Amino acid sequence: MFEFDQYLGFLAFLTILTIGFWLMIFLLTFVVPYWLIGNLREMYKERKEAKRAQSNK
């Protein structure tokens, strides 16, 4: 069967794997959409300002 140090290594491996899995879920469901929506909002504001500046000339 397993010795104690092998058991600790296996637990460390499972912990790192689980942390990586949940980190990827967090990034794909929250961080990436937040970043994309923020960039689209900024692009919209910049285009709106450019149109406003051009129409005021």
Q: Which residues of the chain have pLDDT under 70?
A: 57
pTM for the model: 0.68
SS (H, E, C) 10-49: HHHHHHHHHHHHHHHHHHHHHHHHHHHHHHHHHHHHHHHH
- Pair 2, 10: CB distance under 8 Å: yes
The confidence score (pLDDT) of residue 1 equals 74
Share of the chain above pLDDT 70, in %: 98
Which 3 state secondary structure label does DSSP give 55? Answer: helix
Query: How many Å separate Cα 57 from the centre of its chain?
Result: 41
The confidence score (pLDDT) of residue 46 equals 97
